[in-house]
Amino acid sequence: MLTFITFINFTDQGIKNVKDSPKRIQAGKALLKKMGGRVKQVYLTSGDRDAVLIAEVPNGDVMAKFAMALGSLGNVRTTCGSRIFMRLAEDNNGVGHGPLGTR
């Protein structure tokens, strides 16, 4: 599975109906699960982005289809494509380990 970070901004429609966000998050999790992926975390943020979604998917095509499906509902705009290649280990003085890291 590949891990992707997706940045999310509310549209005017989405912010008007922000109280429905918990239901929309659950619906998004169910959709990605049907597509063979998994939403790991969703964080609301301040600044340029309204939220960040971290997901595991079998390939980039699934992530792109998921992002387009979310956007087509009109509540959010997504910026997708940030794939995580390695995880930094706090116990290893910042040296990453994972697909591209060494240990």
Q: Which residue pairs, CB below 8 angstroms and at least 24 apart, start in 63-68?
A: 63/2, 63/4, 63/6, 63/37, 65/35, 66/28, 66/31, 66/32, 66/35, 66/37, 67/6
Q: Kindly provide the residue ranges of all beta strands, DSSP E only, lying in the chain, ordered along the sequence.
A: 2-10, 38-44, 51-57, 76-84, 87-88, 96-97
pTM, rounded to two decimals:
0.77
Looking at residues 8-12, what average pLDDT do you find? Answer: 96
The per-residue pLDDT for range 39-75, each reduced to its tens digit, is 999 999 999 999 999 999 999 999 999 999 999 999 9
Looking at residue 80, what is its pLDDT? 76
Looking at residue 48, what is its pLDDT? 93
| Position 88 pLDDT exceeds 90 | no
Looking at residue 44, what is its pLDDT? 93
List the domain boundaries for the chain. 2-97
Looking at residue 101, what is its pLDDT? 46
CATH architecture, domain 2-97: 2-Layer Sandwich (3.30)
